[in-house]
Amino acid sequence: MTFSAELETRFEKLLKSYPAGRERAAMIPMLMYAQDEIGSITDELVEEVARRVGVTSLQVHEVVSYYSMLHRKPMGKYHVQICTNISCLLWDADKLWEQATKKLGIGHKEVTADGQISLEEVECVGACSWAPAIQVNYDFHHFVTPEKLDQLLDSLGKKQ
Amino acid sequence: MLYNEPSPLETRILSRRFGLPNSAALDTYLATDGYQAFRKAVGMKPEDIVNEVKISNLRGRGGAGFPTGMKWSFVPRTSPKPKYIVVNADESEPGTCKDRLLIEYDPHQLIEGCLIAGLAVDAHKGWIYIRGEYRYLIEIMDKAIGEAYQKGWLGKNIQGTGVDFDLYTHTGAGAYECGEESALLESLEGKRGVPRIRPPFPAVVGAFQCPTILNNVESICAVPPIILNGGQAFADLGVPKAGGTKLTCLTGHVNKPGVYELRLGFPVMQMINEVGGGMRNGKKLKAFIPGGSSCPLLTAAECEGATMDYDSMAARKSMLGSGGVVVMDEDTCMVKAALRIMRFYAHESCGWCIPCREGTTWLRKVLIRFHEGGGTREDIDLLGDVAKNMLGRTFCPLGDAAALPTISIVEKFREEFEDHLNGRPCPFEHAREAVLV
């Protein structure tokens, strides 16, 4: 499997970041950074990472199935993650979630037909004092209102 | 730009660089006493560093509140194995968003804390485990680490002192459980984040089977000011058995939610009314979570006279926790709050211990039934029963974290469960719909 030169450099650095013989430690960071580049955790990627860190594919699979940010299927180009945990809920995040699902016509971990946007109802993302909060890919949006959400979804739908 | 306006009632020790121009840059750090504590610590005996942290009465800021100096003293400094420093930046306790700011605004303070911890236990390598969602912080931290290497504050023979230290970031991938210390170590080693049985504790057998200091970001960030100004000065800021300040995340129904650095022992009502600008829309306070959703809730009456410190909260059978304060007003449905909290724990339970895996799932199911109006009177006691049977029966505290708030909500707000009985719809939801229309 081939990756960008930038990612290869990152992998090289990662494999040297842990004690000798403990290369397995690089597995989760490698999966995360690779997923950003190729879009999801494919079987091919699992085998590649397993080979590079010196474990079996099964050992990578069992790790992948544990972590909620590692996706076996590609999410949308813009993955909209709406937090509805307690601090966001107190600022009506559940209403934002309903609004987004209705507007896009998709549910939890579903992708729009054009592949542009996906939705996920997520657990606390660590933006509790600036609730309600949404993450689009890795970008935070704080103090989200129904109007702001509407505009955000419109702009993501058209964004290249 | 800061996320919220600072409050004049703050005591800014760890957050004193927040809001400075280029606060994350090495030059800014050096111009504001940065790395002076490290220079001082280089001239101290390791046991004196540990002792100074003990004098400071610093207690773990991740939630458990274990005395940091004592934790450090458990590391066998003379062990032939390498010793490691691991920083827990997996901040994911609902209501908590403070470590984020410590890394965003002052990453060098964290690096300096790691260096000093390294001197204390003879460690020369460390990792900062940052939750996957905080990708932008990994970039900030990597940049700061890169700058520190370039200018000789990390790497070999730091500033000619003969000290070597390597520091790396490590990303998580979405799992609350990995904020638990032993699960974090499993995750760091490239495995599923399930807890380890203890003893041995990480101080003796930690990362890669070696002695390890594992502390929360805020705990490590407190170390440079403690060494620089002395442990006593830090201790004096707090209350007798807990020193210093706490970064407190005010969330929920207040006018000015935000992260504020307050002295330990700060009065709860003054925090809500003055720091937080009072209750939103002039509503009445109903319930209060002192430090993340794992803590038992306090009623408004219990908040009177309470202070933000370990003993005051323990006296009210709760915990200071992580600093994630959640304020709920009179219109909040406590059944719905209990359900949302339980949905979280059911989702995040790693499944290793059956009482936690099954208990959270059943509690979630019963609470859903309640909130939809299908609860029965027996279910109220069933909730308490199931929750109490989870306590103390798991490898890690997640089971307790799920059970404790449930027990407190059922005990303190029983009448709200009764209001949901026998097919009656949620009275609060009804009131809310009327307002929204």
Contact check, Cβ <8 Å, A128/B324:
yes
3-state secondary structure of A11: helix
Can you give the pLDDT at residue A27?
98
- Of A29, A84, A123, nearest to B170 by CB-CB distance is A29
Are B13 and B225 in contact by the 8 Å Cβ rule? The answer is yes
Parts of chain A belonging to CATH 1.10.10: 5-64
Tell me phi and psi for residue B167, to 5 degrees: -135, 140
Q: Which residues of A touch B131 (CB under 8 A)?
A: 126
Can you give the pLDDT at residue A31?
98
| Bridge partners, residue B20, by sequence | none
- The β-bridge relationship of strands B166-171 and B123-130 is parallel
Scan residues 61-100 of A and list those with Cβ closer than 8 Å to B.
62-63, 66-70, 84-87, 89-91, 95
Can you give the pLDDT at residue B436?
42
Sign of the Cα torsion B159, B165, B166, B168 reads negative
Write the CB contacts of B92 (distance below 8 Å, at least 6 apart in sequence): A123, A124, A126, B131, B176, B179
Write the CB contacts of A154 (distance below 8 Å, at least 6 apart in sequence): none
Between CA B127 and CA B89 the distance in angstroms is 10
Condensed to tens digits (0 to 9), the pLDDT of residues B222-270 reads: 999 999 999 999 999 999 999 999 999 999 999 999 999 999 999 999 9
The H or E element that residue A62 is part of is helix A57-64
Domains and CATH numbers, chain B: 26-237 (3.40.50.11540), 245-329 (3.10.20.600), 334-436 (1.20.1440.230)
State mean pLDDT over A68-82.
97
Question: Among residues of chain B, what percentage have pLDDT more than 90?
Answer: 93
State mean pLDDT over B43-48.
98
The closest alpha carbon to B258, from B425, B44, B19, belongs to: B19
Can you give the pLDDT at residue B374?
84
Between CA B189 and CA B212 the distance in angstroms is 13
Fold of A5-64: Arc Repressor Mutant, subunit A (1.10.10)
Write the CB contacts of B309 (distance below 8 Å, at least 6 apart in sequence): B238, B239, B242, B264, B265, B320
Scan residues 288-307 of B and list those with Cβ closer than 8 Å to A.
289, 293
Are B265 and B307 in contact by the 8 Å Cβ rule? The answer is yes
> DSSP labels for B95-111?
T--SHHHHHHH-HHHHH
Amino acid at B72: W
Condensed to tens digits (0 to 9), the pLDDT of residues B60-108 reads: 999 999 999 999 999 999 999 999 999 999 999 999 999 999 999 999 9
The closest alpha carbon to B312, from B367, B352, B366, B269, belongs to: B269
Write the CB contacts of A159 (distance below 8 Å, at least 6 apart in sequence): A78, A116
3-state secondary structure of B40: helix
> DSSP labels for B197-241?
PSSSPTTTS-GGGS-EEEEEHHHHHHHHHHHHH-HHHHHHHSBTT
Fold of A78-158: Glutaredoxin (3.40.30)
Can you give the pLDDT at residue B432?
54
| Bridge partners, residue B56, by sequence | none
State mean pLDDT over A106-126.
97
Q: If pLDDT is split at 50, 70 and 90, which confidence band does B435 have?
A: very low
Question: Among residues of chain B, what percentage have pLDDT more than 70?
Answer: 98
Contact check, Cβ <8 Å, B257/A129:
yes
Contact check, Cβ <8 Å, A25/B190:
yes
The H or E element that residue A135 is part of is strand A134-136
Contact check, Cβ <8 Å, A86/B93:
no
Q: If pLDDT is split at 50, 70 and 90, which confidence band does A115 have?
A: very high
A125 lies within 8 A of chain B by CB:
yes
Can you give the pLDDT at residue B371?
87
Between CA B233 and CA B398 the distance in angstroms is 35
Q: Which residues of B touch A130 (CB under 8 A)?
A: 3-4, 97, 257-258
Neighbours of B71 (CB within 10 A): 22
Can you give the pLDDT at residue B430?
62
A142 lies within 8 A of chain B by CB:
yes
State mean pLDDT over A133-160.
96
Opening angle at CA B159, ends B156 and B165, nearest 5: 35
Mean pLDDT computed over every residue of chain B? 95
ipTM value, please give it: 0.98
Can you give the pLDDT at residue B431?
56
Can you give the pLDDT at residue B437?
36
